[in-house]
Homo-oligomer: A and B are copies of this chain.
Amino acid sequence: MLRNLEYFAMIENEQQMSNDSGHLSRRACWAGGKSLATVLMAKSLAQPELVSLAAAFIDGETLPVEPTRKALDAIWSNPQRAKAALQYGTTIGYPPLRKLLLERMLEADGQTAEQTGLSADQVIVTAGSNAALHLVSDTILNPGDIVLCGAPSYFVFMGTLANLGARAVGVDMDEHGMLPESLEQRLDYFEQSGELDRVKAIYVISYYDNPTGVTLSADRRRRLVEIAKQRSKRTKIRIIEDTAYRELRYWGDDIPSVRSFDEEGDTVVTAGSFSKSFSAGIRVGWAVLPRDLVGPVLTQKGNIDFGSPNFSQHLMCAVMEEGLLDLHLQTIRAQYAKKLVAMVEAVEESLGPIDGVRWMRPGGGLYLWLSVPEHLDTSHGGRLFDRAVEEGVLYVPGDHCHPAEYRNIPKNTIRLSFGVPPCDEIRRGIAALGRAVKQVG
């Protein structure tokens, strides 16, 4: 909460800021400068032998070259179908794909369309789920509005919120996800400060969270939905559920989505993506929207992108129709599970013996969240980060993943990704990190 004043000063100075910054809009100024991703990428390019445990890319080896060719063949086997894929689509997206997406979600959630009242008219398709998150945010958030986010949270979305001039306020988390008590505390605070009307959304990455790897427990899913409904007074508080990693499950059972607990269907927006489960290059994401948001979000979408690539949507529809998605998921789940084991074993070996090092083994996703002893500073530009690069490994500093407004952002955390490198590189990278921690500590 400490940063409120800064935020309001920022908004009041907006006109001046836009003049100071070479005739840019307020939003362009709020968006901030060079991103850490750019900095990390530059480091990787400058030092190619560096093991990157930073990038959230998917494994190049498992990219679906053959499945995609099969899906393309299915489309090209019928020239009318190929023509349809090459023509404009609609702003909402390709109807057969939207239908399949809805069916898949409902099946995973153990629900039927009748039970939920959901229809494919509430599914919009975007070029990646980031675009869906942006569109929904742009439709409900004014500058100064508040979004409650896990602390830590997905840093790209934190950038999107900053770009919209919205305030990202951190909520405490544990190994079962966002803490309902902490969420209520934040809401109490804003109720007392007269700002409850500015709280427009709660953002959760419900499966194998980026960056912590944590999955929100079923009890808490239910509780979060209850809290959002109870606290919606003059302003509706939505839950924006990001399910980008749901399909990357290696152990344990699937859990119904946060959306499945929203009986009235008026609270939860669920966003999803094929970027992790199939291909980030084809870039198809989606959102399932409460009915009242469909029209406004589509109007925004018409003005912002005038429809997402139709060809990509036909392609992903063929991938699903031909059963290629599920086949591919079997392959990548086995592959990523091995890499996750390799990373956990390497961490146990190289970092386990160090006092104050903690981590949690996730059941899926692409990330391992690591805490080092509290006196170590993992942030970019700090001694450990530089030492780690010298030893040959790149990581994402945990402080970078925090919502802007959170008291005491911890400085001793690290996001490790096992998505891209093969097992031996993972081991080499973790060994390098172990050396760096020992040297700096």
Contacts and interface: CB of A to CB of B under 8 A. Distances in A.
A68 B85 CA distance: 11
A138 interface: yes
Contacts of A18: 142
B87 A306 contact: no
Residue among A14, A88, A131 with the most chain B CB within 10 A? A88
Contacts of A76: 65, 69, 72
Nearest to A35: B302
Nearest to A292: B22
A31 B283 CA distance: 26
A9 interface: no
Contacts of A131: 304-306
Contacts of A34: 295
B31 A296 contact: yes
Given A63-B87, A309-B127, A299 B28 contact: yes
A246 interface: no
Interface in A305-343: 305-312, 314-315
Nearest to A299: B31
Nearest to A84: B281
Top 6 closest pairs, chain A to chain B, by CB: A130-B306, A283-B309, A281-B310, A163-B303, A86-B281, A86-B279
28 contacts: A15-B142, A19-B235, A21-B296, A23-B200, A24-B140, A25-B141, A28-B296, A28-B299, A31-B299, A31-B303, A57-B87, A63-B82, A63-B87, A65-B76, A65-B83, A72-B72, A86-B282, A88-B280, A127-B127, A127-B305, A130-B306, A131-B304, A134-B305, A156-B302, A162-B303, A280-B310, A281-B310, A283-B309
